[in-house]
Amino acid sequence: MKLPVINRRSALLGLAGAAGALAFAGGTRSAFAAGDTIKVGVLHSLSGTMAISETTLKDVMLMLIEEQNKKGGLLGKKLEAVVVDPASNWPLFAEKARELITKDGCVATFGCWTSVSRKSVLPVFEELNSILFYPVQFEGEESSKNIFYTGAAPNQQAIPAVDYLMANEDVKRWVLAGTDYVYPRTTNKILEAYLKAKGVAPEDIMINYTPFGQSDWQTIVSDIKKFGSAGKKTAVVSTINGDANVPFYKELGNQGIKATDIPVVAFSVGEEELAGMDKKPLVGHLAAWNYFMSVDTPENKAFIDKWHAFTKKANRTTNDPMEAHYIGFNMWVAAVTAAGTTDSDAVQDALIGISVPNLSGGLSTMMPNHYITKPVLIGEIQEDGQFNIVQQSPMVVGDEWSDYLDGSKDLIADWRKPMSCGNFNVKIGKCGGKAA
């Protein structure tokens, strides 16, 4: 059995706030120290199927680095962004990551969107003992010493979305539709186990996968429509990624499927993706994230104003992975400031327990498993491409190993000494080695 939540998760929340002020430690300096700069890697696809989502993350990193330089940089040195384009090519991510670390001398990297790209670079960051901040929702089932996961784990997005549909839409039948790679497959494996634990019959679960860039959705949407005609309320839980979302939602509209008929809750459709879509067939469909642009807080208003000033475009949207980079970058700045060095081991140790403001008006904390605390938000798509927030949770600690998978439910991660383990088996009291 896993350790009780009070011991395993909730007690760790005592870390929250313990280092919150560190993000702003050191103050502003009037000039940079002479000598070299501190280089920061930006590893996001600027071309290919994932450019629709990742280009904005490159832009927000440039904004954050510029803002930090206006404050005096870091340790008296100017920050320098090193931007590369892995072009939605998963092996190329690893090649570019190695170049950022060994050739360009980047001390930390912010990047990747898909889990397959993160899996590609993980051994590189571990081999070279460098740091990656990963800002996108994913399947969990991993905890690396060298990766800090600022995106949502399944218990911070997928499972709460299913709970919302059960409680508020009385959904009885489930379509788990995803792009064919590790994140959708593992997330849907967790969701299938969760649904069955909630009493959902196997025949009331339909699972479908499509390649990246899927453009022809006519047959698949027809199958979804037929599956939803059995007299039970049906919903689609979508882990479809990238530009395939555009023809998917268009086909829903073509076949007359409305949110009132078969609601879709998406985990990879945010404001940026909606900006390039016809919103009419999407109105009323849902998304589950940890941030929406429509969040009404002073912190978010200030962030949006800075974003519009930086991009010089008053209609440029913000989204959840941007907030994750905002949180991760400020955590890294705080940890480097606290450690007094960019040395990877020292910064990794300093990051645990760091708390910084998020954009929803609270603090997010880096936990010993290298996951952060996040609120869960459910939003309805509006005609203007924004989200009406219909539910927001308190802070949730990211669960690195799922409670619903047999191979995972006895595992925890804790990178504090002396444990320093990403997959410690609490049942046998032994570390299983590197998380894969």
- Higher per-residue pLDDT: 24 or 235: 235
SS (H, E, C) 146-209: CEEECCCCHHHCHHHHHHHHHHHHCCCEEEEEEECCHHHHHHHHHHHHHHHHCCCCHHHEEEEE
Closest CA to 274 of 53, 113, 48, 47: 53
Q: Is 111 helix (H, G, I), strand (E, B) or coil?
A: strand
Evaluate whether 226 touches 168 at the Cβ level (below 8 Å). Answer: no
Residue 129: predicted pLDDT: 98
pLDDT, mean over the chain:
91
Evaluate whether 71 touches 30 at the Cβ level (below 8 Å). Answer: no
Residue 412 makes CB contacts below 8 A (sequence gap 6+) with 2, 3, 8, 369, 400, 401, 423, 424, 426
Q: What's the CA angle centered on 203, arms 201 and 206, to 5 degrees? A: 110
DSSP 361: S
Is the pLDDT confidence value at 10 over 50? no
DSSP 372: B
Residue 22: predicted pLDDT: 41
- With bands split at pLDDT 50, 70 and 90, how would you rate the model's confidence at 31? low
Domains of the chain: 5-152+296-373 (3.40.50.2300)
Read off the pLDDT of residues 306-353 as tens digits, 9 standing for 90 and up. Answer: 999 999 999 999 999 999 999 999 999 999 999 999 999 999 999 999
Residue 98: predicted pLDDT: 98
pLDDT mean over 266-283:
87
Tokens 């003992």 found at:
129
Residue 32: predicted pLDDT: 62
Q: What's the CA angle centered on 87, arms 86 and 93, to 5 degrees? A: 25
Q: Is 71 helix (H, G, I), strand (E, B) or coil?
A: coil
pLDDT above 90 as % of the chain: 84
Is the pLDDT confidence value at 255 over 80? yes
Please give the helix or strand (H or E) that residue 27 lies within, else none.
Answer: none
Residue 277: predicted pLDDT: 84
DSSP 433: -
pLDDT above 70 as % of the chain: 91
Residue 157: predicted pLDDT: 96
- With bands split at pLDDT 50, 70 and 90, how would you rate the model's confidence at 268? confident
Tokens 């555009």 found at:
246
Task: Count CA within 13 A, CB hemisphere, residue 17.
Answer: 4
Q: What's the CA angle centered on 158, arms 153 and 162, to 5 degrees? A: 155
pTM (predicted TM-score) = 0.88
Residue 434: predicted pLDDT: 41
- With bands split at pLDDT 50, 70 and 90, how would you rate the model's confidence at 33? low
Residue 376: predicted pLDDT: 97
- With bands split at pLDDT 50, 70 and 90, how would you rate the model's confidence at 35? low
Is the pLDDT confidence value at 273 over 90? no
Residue 306: predicted pLDDT: 98
pLDDT mean over 158-175:
97
Read off the pLDDT of residues 93-118 as tens digits, 9 standing for 90 and up. Answer: 999 999 999 999 999 999 999 999 99
Evaluate whether 385 touches 373 at the Cβ level (below 8 Å). Answer: no
Phi, psi angles (nearest 5°) of residue 185: -65, -45
